[in-house]
Amino acid sequence: MYQALVGQMCKHLVQLEHWLDATVAYAESKKIDADRFLDFRLAPDQFALARQIQITCDTAKLGASRICGKDAPVHADTEKTIAEIKTRVEDVRAYLAHFGAVDYDGAALRVITQPRWEGKTMTGADYFLEHVTPNFFFHLSHTYAILRHNGVPLGKRDFLGPLTMHAPA
Amino acid sequence: MYQALVGQMCKHLVQLEHWLDATVAYAESKKIDADRFLDFRLAPDQFALARQIQITCDTAKLGASRICGKDAPVHADTEKTIAEIKTRVEDVRAYLAHFGAVDYDGAALRVITQPRWEGKTMTGADYFLEHVTPNFFFHLSHTYAILRHNGVPLGKRDFLGPLTMHAPA
């Protein structure tokens, strides 16, 4: 299950890269600097686009690495351009692609904790379903919503990406 | 897995009801009509709040019923008030609560189709992971984002809801 969910996250990160390409094309058509979008946000006390994308990446990266008991590569959150943030997304996708079925052995029962949890723990299963999955989609959807709110032409198919459909029998 | 994911959706629908309560309280504090929020949207060609909530409900309801091979109750999409839309959310939660482990037997391999798919099909597994789950979180997150964009005081904990944490050993 975790491998399937992480696989879906990788697909959504590919879609996110397409959204960034669409943002650059849209900005060019309006003769504005595409990197300006990185500072846009939906509410004064919500994160701006760049941070939404960084957290989307970190949620997938740390979610997979923690339930598999591995150390994840560190990203410094210093991206200032669409090109740099796209490289971040690509890096995380490449990292996640290395996880195979065997890496998820024991993931459901692994004990997960974080410094700010003050010693409390979650099982890998609960952590992935209750924390990682909703957080990933929260920040992914906010990324999409910030772009749509600011005029980038995207639709639901750009959000979902390709579906595994079978031709009529 | 499907039962666990549907269980999470039910939890998020409870949170959504809390957001609606927070919206009513916020509107009262500002002396405005809370039902006005149902027409708010983030982009001219995105759905307004009422429709985002209706689709959030339908995605969970139809996702579970289709992979379990059951007929789902029909909702007419006629809600005009926060109170009515909250009843819709409660109805769907009650419906989903009836599904037990045995209902999901064979769900992964069930053949799913929809009129607009022109005869094409998806397996229950692919449909639930590639279509239902991202769509549910897309519309749930847009619901949250519309409320935050319009001043309703909510935070990430309101989005995630309670987490299954264990006390330090």
In a domain, A133, yes or no: yes
Interface of B with A (CB under 8 A): 1, 4-5, 8, 11-12, 42-43, 46, 117-123, 125-126, 129-131, 133-135, 137-138, 140-142, 144-145, 148-149, 151, 156, 159-161, 163-169
Cα separation of A122 and A112, whole Å?
5
Whole-number percent of chain B with pLDDT over 70: 100
Q: What integer is the mean pLDDT of B12-21?
A: 98
Q: Is pLDDT above 80 for A120?
A: yes
pLDDT of res. A169? 73
Instruction: Give the model's pLDDT for residue A24.
Output: 98
Per-residue pLDDT, B169: 73
B-chain residues near A4 (CB < 8 A)? 125, 129
Q: Residue A168's pLDDT is what?
A: 86
How many Å apart are CA A27 and CA A152, to the nearest integer?
8
d(CA A14, CA B54): 28
Average pLDDT for residues B4-25, to the nearest whole number?
97
- Kindly state the average pLDDT of the residues A79-86: 98
The model's confidence at residue B108, banded by pLDDT at 50, 70 and 90, is very high
Partner residue facing A160 (CB), from B118, B131, B169: B131
Residue A51 lies in a domain: yes
Query: HSE on the CB side for B120, CA within 13 Å?
Result: 10
pLDDT tops 90 at residue B167:
yes
Structure letter (DSSP) for residue A117: G
Residue A48 has pLDDT above 90, yes or no: yes
Question: pLDDT for B25-77, tens place per residue?
Answer: 999 999 999 999 999 999 999 999 999 999 999 999 999 999 999 999 999 99
- Specify the 3-state DSSP secondary structure of A152: coil
> Count of domains in chain B?
1
Q: What Å distances lie between residue A86 and A99, A122, A129, CA to CA? A: 21, 32, 27
Predicted local distance difference test score (pLDDT) of residue B35: 98
Whole-number Å distance between alpha carbons of B130 and A168:
19
Do the chains contact at B4 and A164, CB–CB below 8 Å? no
Percentages (nearest 5) of helix, strand, coil residues in chain B: 65, 5, 30
Chain A residues with CB-CB distance to B43 below 8 A: 148-149, 151
- Residues near A24 by Cβ (< 8 Å), separated by ≥ 6? A34, A82
Considering chain A, what percentage of its residues have pLDDT values greater than 90? 96
Counting residues of chain B whose pLDDT is more than 90, the rounded percentage is 96
pLDDT for residue A1: 86
Output the pLDDT for position B130: 97
A144-161 pLDDT, tens digit each: 999 999 999 999 999 999
Q: Measured between beta carbons, which residues in chain A are less than 8 angstroms from residue B132?
A: none
Q: Which domain holds residue A120?
A: 2-160
B112 within some domain: yes
Model confidence at B119: pLDDT above 90: yes
ipTM value, please give it: 0.97
Residue A8 lies in a domain: yes
Query: Does some domain include residue B104?
Result: yes
User: Residue A45 and residue A53: Cα distance in Å, rounded?
Assistant: 16
Report the CATH number at residue A67. 1.20.120.450
pLDDT at res. A96: 95
Q: Is residue B167 assigned to a domain?
A: no
Give B147→chain A minimum CA distance, Å: 10
Nearest CB to A42 within list B125, B145, B159: B145
What's the pTM value of the predicted model, to 2 decimals? 0.97
Is pLDDT above 90 for B152? yes
Is-contact A104 A67, C-beta < 8 A?
yes
Chain A residues touching chain B at CB-CB below 8 Å: 1, 4-5, 8, 11-12, 42-43, 46, 117-123, 125-126, 129-131, 133-135, 137-138, 140-142, 144-145, 148-149, 151, 156, 159-161, 163-169
Structural contact between residues A50 and A146, judged by C-beta atoms closer than 8 angstroms: no
Residues contacting B97, CB < 8 A, separation 6+: B10
Q: Is there a contact between B27 and B37 (Cβ–Cβ < 8 Å)?
A: yes
Confidence of residue B1 (pLDDT cuts 50, 70, 90): confident
- The angle formed by the CA atoms of residues A140, B148 and A24, to the nearest 5 degrees, is 40
Phi, psi of A35 (to 5 degrees): -65, -20
Written as six digits, the tokens of B141 are 């997150």
pLDDT of residue B168: 86
Separation between Cα atoms, residue A123 and residue B145, nearest integer Å: 29
Per residue in B78-102, pLDDT tens? 999 999 999 999 999 999 999 999 9
Residues of chain B with Cβ-Cβ distance to A149 below 8 Å are: 42-43, 149
**Is residue A169 in some structural domain?**
no
Give me the amino acid identity at A56: T
Task: Give the closest-approach CA distance of A79 to chain B in angstroms.
Answer: 24
In a domain, B57, yes or no: yes
Mean pLDDT of chain A: 96
